Structure formats: structure tokens, C-alpha cells
Amino acid sequence: MDATRYRRAYFALVKSLELDDDERHGLNLRLTRHENTTDFTEADWRVVVAELQRLSGRKGVEDARPHLRTRHSPLATRHSAPYPLDSAATPEQVVLIEDLAREITWRESDGFRRFVAKTCFTDADEVYRRAWIDANAGLRSLPRHIASRVIRRLQRELHYQGLRSRAAGPSPSHEAARPSAEAVSQEAPTRG
């Protein structure tokens, strides 16, 4: 059993409660029938740390259910693959952007590229905006932080279009104006 998390919490709480060794050993003996922490099982650790958290005033602590930080394995990640090293948009972001862009009705054929260029870049992102406009860059060339911004803006636009279309009623040209996924990622920018 790896008691590292319990041990860290235990000794931090003992220090914050200013318990001396006799008080600490007495508490251990009273709660677990073991005076020393070297004899603790995982169940003993849970009982003692939960009691120390209660004594320190922590709210919501139940018997033998202390609040501890989660374990983070260095190999465990949220994504199936690690982030690209070049800070490019993740494959998940690209797919989500393409799906959202397909759902929005664009007035012009290059509406998606213009929308991104106009609403998703800040003054600090001018280099990325120029690359997006001038080089006909694809979605994978966007940095992750800008791809996140594109997703939020597209979600907001989709929400507003939904509100407008409900107020105006169904549009017969709605389906005809949608670009394909390939068109969204391959559209050429226009200069205006």
C-alpha cells in the first residue's frame, strides 16, 4: 500500500493542529489501536486523517473518508495522445471546429474564414491572424489557445443563429448554404 498521500496529509494536519508526539500517539491509539503510523493499514490512515481534518475544522469530512488530493499518474492523460509539441490545435479541437462550422449558415462562401479572422484573434495574435489570412492556413495550423477561442465563438454564433431562426421561422435555403467539412478547412481567404 502506498501511504504517501495519507502520510503527507497526516503530518501537515498534526503540524497545523500543533499536536506534540504524546497527543499524536494518544490519538492514534484511541482511533486505531496502533500508537505508531508504521503499523497503520490503509483503513487506519483513512480514519486518522479524517479525524484530524475534522479537528482542524474542515467541513464535510465523513468517518474514514478524508478529503485528499487525487493521485496523478505521470502516464495518465485526458487525451489519447499528448498535446502536439508545436502548440498546434489538437485533433479533437479540429474535429469539433469542423462540426460546429458545418452547422452554421454562412452568408458567403468564405464566411467561416472571415468569421475566424475577425472574431478569434486579439492584437497579440496578429502573427497568427496574418498566417490564417495570407497563407490559406488550415485548422491544424491554429495554436491551441486560438482553436479554443474559435470553438467558443462558433458555439456562441450557433446559439444566436438558433435564436434568430426560431424567431424568423424555417428558412428554405438553410441547407443549401451549409459548406462541406472539406470546404470549411480548405476555403481560400479573400481580401476586402
Residue-by-residue DSSP string for 86-136? T-BPPHHHHHHHHHHHHHSPPSSTTHHHHHHHHHS--GGGHHHHHHHHHS-
143 beta partners: 88
Cell of 122: 486579439
Compute and round to an integer the Cα radius of gyration of the chain: 28
pLDDT along the chain (192 residues), means of 10: 82 88 90 88 88 83 74 51 67 88 83 85 82 75 87 88 70 51 52 47
| Model pTM score | 0.44
What is the C-alpha separation between 159 and 153, in angstroms, rounded?
Answer: 10
Question: Residue 27's Cα: distance from chain center in Å?
Answer: 40
Greatest Cα pair distance, the chain, in angstroms, is 81
pLDDT number for residue 89 = 83
Q: How far apart are the first and last CA of the chain?
A: 66
For 78, 79, 112, 142, the CA distances from 84, given in Å and listed in that order, are 14, 11, 24, 12
What is the structure's pLDDT at 192? Answer: 47
Give the pLDDT confidence score for residue 191 in this predicted structure: 47
Q: How much is the pLDDT for 168?
A: 67
The Cα–Cα gap between 186 and 80 comes to 26
Instruction: Report the half-sphere exposure of 175 (CA within 13 A, side-chain side).
Output: 1
Q: Which residues contact 30 (CB under 8 A, 6 or more apart)?
A: none
